[in-house]
Chains A and B, each alone.
Chain A
Amino acid sequence: MRKVGNQLLASILVNAIYEMKNYPIILINTVISPLSFLILIVFVSRGELLGVAIIGGLIMTMFQAGTFLQSDLSHLKNDFKLQEMVVASPTRAGVYVAGIAISELIYSSPAIIILSTLFGLFVHTSLINVLGIIAVLLLMFLTSIALGFALATVTTDIVQSFAFSRLITTLFSTLAPVYYPITLLPEPVRTLAYLSPTTYAAQLSHGLAGYQQLSVEIAMLDWGVLLGITAVCMWVGLRKARWRER
């Protein structure tokens, strides 16, 4: 148990703490991307969408964790051969990846702290709904981590991997109705938006925060879809991942 703790710590140190400590500029980067959208949306909507955009920022931050994980895993694996050194050590695949996943949360912690503070100040809803939103965010995190892990194992170089993560970020968190309510989308596009897992997460958490009508049926559907996507992504991630190569 203690050994697993040390192994988790190793991934966290390498992929978050040492990196942040040695290159503090990174911190600014992680804060800027979710906040810039938030500011833009709030500005354009004259403050009306403030709460919606705060929640959107949180969802995007969670979703980004997976894309960060993906590019970090392939960077460490392909450019430093670190993963092979770890494979041939007492660390198991799950522990290595879990450590890297936690490191992505730590890496994003400045953004999470700022957004959570804004959430506390500007979003007013019941405790139970806050817990619901936290659950949605966690599911989002797990989905994106699993997706990122699966992608990292199939991409063989960092450029390819980077292209993937850019594409995913744009599709799933910039274009998808995460920072704005889905009701703003005209009908045919709205259907398309439902292809993105972030849409369900946003719809659910915007509803829980009271920014959007949310019938019990729709809520159930959203939860079902989110859980389903998370399960499928984790299953694919675990199946696709190769620790020892074939």
Chain B
Amino acid sequence: MGELVCDGLGKVYSGGKRALSSVSFRIPTSGVFALIGRNGAGKTTLTRILSTLLEPSEGGASIDGLDVMADANRLRERMAVVPQEARAIAWMSPVQMITAYLLWRGLDYREAKRRALYSVEKVGMSEHANKLNRNLSGGMKRKVLVAMVIASGADLIFLDEPTTGLDPISRKELWELLIDLSKDRFLFITTHYLEEAERVADRIGILDDGRLLVLGSMEELRAKLPHQYSIRVSAGADLPSFEGEKRLGRDGQLQVLTSQEEAMHISRSLLESKEKFSLNPITLDDIFYQMVGRTISSGVEEEDGE
């Protein structure tokens, strides 16, 4: 099986802004890899370097043994990329857009058209196949780009924030398509919806301020942290002394992040005092908070809906 390898990748933009610092990792090119991080963390920069759109300033990377610089043309035969803020072209229909994209990929017109019709149907947009993209809803417009990727047959797929700005229902639909797509291809996705990344991704990387903090499956990420359990309890509850972190959740409840042993200890004490509480393994959100020291959306507006 192939691998994606980054070796000391760094990027300094021409204005002098450093966006990535010695990023090194190695992941198999199968399933879904989700890159998460706050705005400005460097997700787009890393994605663009790996998808042959941007030259790195330091280090190198390869995918399935093909160097992103030296073997770019061979990689481009195999990859399909949807950049952040890519849009379906306003004056074309979904079928026209996908057909054109497939022609650029080198397919013949008839085959391109056939696949375009098939993929539009596959994303559940048959009724809209020949409407102009400009008249479609935000969720539909994004689906056109996913249909494009599905139709491409490419097996290395890069999607930069494919679900950002969509309503929760469209997001769910889009993720379902992406999960289906990942069955026999590699998906490299960036997102800042942590619950979605947790549910969908086989491997997750956390980027902060241009540095890769951790990378692994949810299990592996949990194992890297001192606190793997989360207890939620009302803010006024009496807690025994313990090792771990406390934080006040958005719901007004107190959250305790702690180790398994401590979690048992606290639970027993809460049971005795008949407090209502919940005990769960930590989520990606908790992991992110512990690694980065902030929540992913602190300081940014929630951006839901277009």
Contacts and interface: CB of A to CB of B under 8 A. Distances in A.
Given A22-B91, A85-B86, A7 B103 contact: yes
A82 interface: yes
A80 B108 contact: no
Instruction: Report whether over half of chain A's contact residues are helix, strand or loop; otherwise say mixed.
Output: helix
B105 interface: yes
Given A9-B103, A80-B87, A244-B72, A88 B80 contact: yes
A96 B81 CA distance: 17
B252 interface: no
Contacts of A86: 104
Contact of A22 (B88, B99, B132): B132
Interface string A88-107: 11111000100000000000
B53 A84 contact: yes
A246 B104 contact: no
A89 B77 CA distance: 6
A13 B103 contact: yes
Given A18-B96, A81-B85, A84-B86, A244 B53 contact: yes
A34 B60 CA distance: 52
Contacts of A90: 73, 76-77, 104-106
B91 A80 contact: no
A76 B82 CA distance: 14
Counting chain B residues whose Cβ lies within 8 A of the other chain, the interface size class is 35 or more
Contacts of A23: 91
A151 to B, nearest CB: 19
Interface string B94-107: 00100111011111
Interface in B24-56: 48, 51-55
A88 B51 contact: yes
A79 B83 contact: no
B52 A88 contact: yes
A11 to B, nearest CB: 8
A2 interface: yes
A10 B87 contact: no
Contacts of A2: 108
Contacts of A39: none
A246 B87 contact: no
Contact of B100 (A3, A14, A244): A14
B242 interface: no
A156 interface: no
Given A6-B106, A85-B83, A246 B53 contact: no
A244 B52 contact: yes
B298 interface: no
A88 B81 contact: yes
Contacts, number: 106
Given A13-B99, A245-B53, A246-B55, A91 B104 contact: yes
Counting chain A residues whose Cβ lies within 8 A of the other chain, the interface size class is 20 to 34
Interface in B138-190: 158
Contact of B89 (A14, A88, A244): A14
B52 A87 contact: yes
Interface string B1-30: 000000000000010000000000000000
Nearest to B149: A85
Given A13-B96, A244-B53, A84 B83 contact: yes
B92 A10 contact: no
Interface string B192-229: 00000000000000000000000000000000000000
A88 B103 contact: no
A6 B132 contact: no
Contacts of A6: 103-104, 106-109, 112
Nearest to B79: A88
Contacts of A9: 103, 109
A89 B104 contact: yes
Contacts of B80: 85, 88-89
A6 B54 CA distance: 26
Contacts of A245: 48, 53-55
Contacts of A246: 14, 54-55
Contacts of B112: 6
B99 to A, nearest CB: 7
Interface in A1-45: 2-3, 6-7, 9-11, 13-14, 18-19, 22-23
Nearest to A86: B104
A3 B105 CA distance: 8
A230 B132 CA distance: 38
List 3 A-B pairs, minimum CB-CB distance, nearest first: A10-B103, A88-B81, A81-B86
12 contacts: A2-B108, A7-B103, A7-B106, A23-B91, A79-B87, A81-B85, A82-B89, A84-B48, A88-B53, A90-B106, A244-B72, A245-B48
Given A19-B91, A88-B76, A91-B104, 19 more contacts: A3-B106, A10-B100, A10-B103, A13-B99, A14-B89, A14-B92, A19-B92, A81-B85, A85-B101, A86-B104, A88-B53, A89-B76, A89-B101, A89-B104, A244-B55, A245-B53, A245-B54, A245-B55, A246-B54
